[in-house]
Structure 1
Amino acid sequence: MTAYPELGVPLDAANGRGATRVLVRLTDAAERIFAAVLLLFASPLCLAVAIIILVLSRRSPFVAHLRRGQFGHEFWMWKFRTMWPRQQTSTRVRLVERVRSAPLDERKGIPDPRISSRFARLCRKFSVDELPQLWHVLSGRMALIGPRPLTPVELDVHYGKDMAEVLTLKPGITGLWQVCGRNSLTYRQRRRLDLFFVRHNSSGLRWLIVRRSLAVVLSGRNAS
């Protein structure tokens, strides 16, 4: 039996009690240690990716996107650059316009003309562009598992009154949004999944997300 049959979220994974303070602290410490280990082993890959992007785009290999973290605190989330449009129109202006005009049932994974490199598409398909976010886990601004990290505009427009509840947890590098459809989800579905995770946060649900995340990343399914 599933909570959302169309998204495949099993109820039995979330039937346990919500995370206690002790569990939250232990999970946070474990995630920081794991992030440090991952960063250490991924550093050669990160260096190679940064050099290739620098050569291909002739710009900084990193970009910083403004996101709203736990309790509404804003921070700049780092990613590898995968978009370098030929025209110099402000990316932020176009992103805000696109989000504000997007209906709740529009899927995120719409082809973006700014992704003009095969290497960039490969990085996005296998989530290589997300590796710099491990640093945010180390700094305590993000978690390995949590609600989708969203922009202030996305939260204001598409989450509304549910925004405060979603922001009680740290945003995650992965979460239900990734293992249940990733960029094929609509804003409405993403909001439901984020709320489900916040309300049923448990070790069982987190372990389910870890298992599914590995399969999703290795397959590259539903990546834009």
Structure 2
Amino acid sequence: MLRLLDIVLAVLGILVTLPLLTILYVVGLFDTRSPLFRQIRVGRQQKPFVLVKFRTMRPGTASVATHLADVSAITSFGNFLRKTKLDELPQLWNVLKGEMSLVGPRPCLPNQLELIGERVQRRVFDVRPGITGLAQIQGIDMSTPVLLAEVDRQMIRTLSVVNYFKYIVLTATGRGAGDRIREKSG
């Protein structure tokens, strides 16, 4: 049932936001000359996949978890995209392809070994990763791997159609701060 909702909502989301996606892409061309960001992430059953987002950091920035990235790498336009969560819109394509769900644990990087270990213990990789979920609306990010894996497991155990829509609505209305970025070191 949730996979069918993912497909229907991803198609609708792409169609409805196509003009906005086009505008953001064009502005991104002026901002970084490379508006789309592709990165290998760990998916369902620990299978790697290529996640697509709008680029928020300068090209060439080290591929690290967001909480380890330097705030100075984020462009002004990228900061806007992050605050509004519009950088996530291209992931609708990942949802349509079946690599992700609209709701699920955020996909981690292959080098986040502590988080991967915690998620393996809790069987978090049994489900598709998602664009949003319980951890995101609670402001829990990948800087706390044990807590994140626990909250991911809790979400998986309690995920229903009602909670699915609840997490989407709460995300769309601005709940959750997203991943922390470390302040520029002096």
The answer (yes or no) to whether the contact 1:109–1:183 under 8 Å persists in 2 is: no
What amino acid does structure 2 have at the position aligned with 1:173? Answer: I
Residue equivalent to 2:183? none
Residue equivalent to 1:149? 107
Residue equivalent to 1:163? 120
Match of 1:178 among 136, 148, 155: 136
TM-score between both structures, scaled by the size of structure 1:
0.71
Residue 109 of structure 1: how far off its partner (Å): 8.3
Task: List gaps (5 residues or longer) in structure 2.
Answer: 181-186
1:34 aligns with 2:5: no
Residue equivalent to 1:108? 67
How far, CA to CA, are the matches of 1:34 and 1:121 in structure 2? 26
1:50 aligns with 2:9: no
Tell which has more relative contact order, 1 or 2 (C-alpha 8 A, sep 6+): 1
Q: 1:221 to 1:206 in 2, by over 3 A?
A: same
Q: 1:197 to 1:112 in 2, by over 3 A?
A: same
Q: Residue deviations 1:90-110, cap 9 Å, x none?
A: 623xx2xxx6xxxxxxx9387
Residue equivalent to 1:201? 159
How far, CA to CA, are the matches of 1:77 and 1:209 in structure 2? 20
Residue 189 of structure 1: how far off its partner (Å): 2.3
How far, CA to CA, are the matches of 1:181 and 1:51 in structure 2? 30
The answer (yes or no) to whether the contact 1:144–1:172 under 8 Å persists in 2 is: yes
Residue equivalent to 2:148? 190
Percent identical pairs in the alignment equals: 30
How far, CA to CA, are the matches of 1:162 and 1:130 in structure 2? 22
Q: How many pairs does the alignment contain?
A: 179
How far, CA to CA, are the matches of 1:171 and 1:133 in structure 2? 11
Residue 185 of structure 1: how far off its partner (Å): 6.4
How far, CA to CA, are the matches of 1:161 and 1:110 in structure 2? 22
Q: 1:162 to 1:221 in 2, by over 3 A?
A: closer
1:91 aligns with 2:57: no
What amino acid does structure 2 have at the position aligned with 1:211? Answer: V
Residue aligned with 1:153, SS:
coil
Larger radius of gyration: 1
Q: Residue deviations 1:85-126, cap 9 Å, x none?
A: 6xx5x623xx2xxx6xxxxxxx938752210x2211010111
TM-score between both structures, scaled by the size of structure 2:
0.84
How far, CA to CA, are the matches of 1:67 and 1:109 in structure 2? 16
Q: 1:185 to 1:112 in 2, by over 3 A?
A: same
Residue aligned with 2:170, SS:
helix
How far, CA to CA, are the matches of 2:111 and 2:53 in structure 1? 19
Runs ≥4 in structure 1, deviation > 6 angstroms?
A: none
The answer (yes or no) to whether the contact 1:67–1:76 under 8 Å persists in 2 is: yes
1:82 aligns with 2:56: yes
The answer (yes or no) to whether the contact 1:184–1:222 under 8 Å persists in 2 is: no
Residue 72 of structure 1: how far off its partner (Å): 1.3
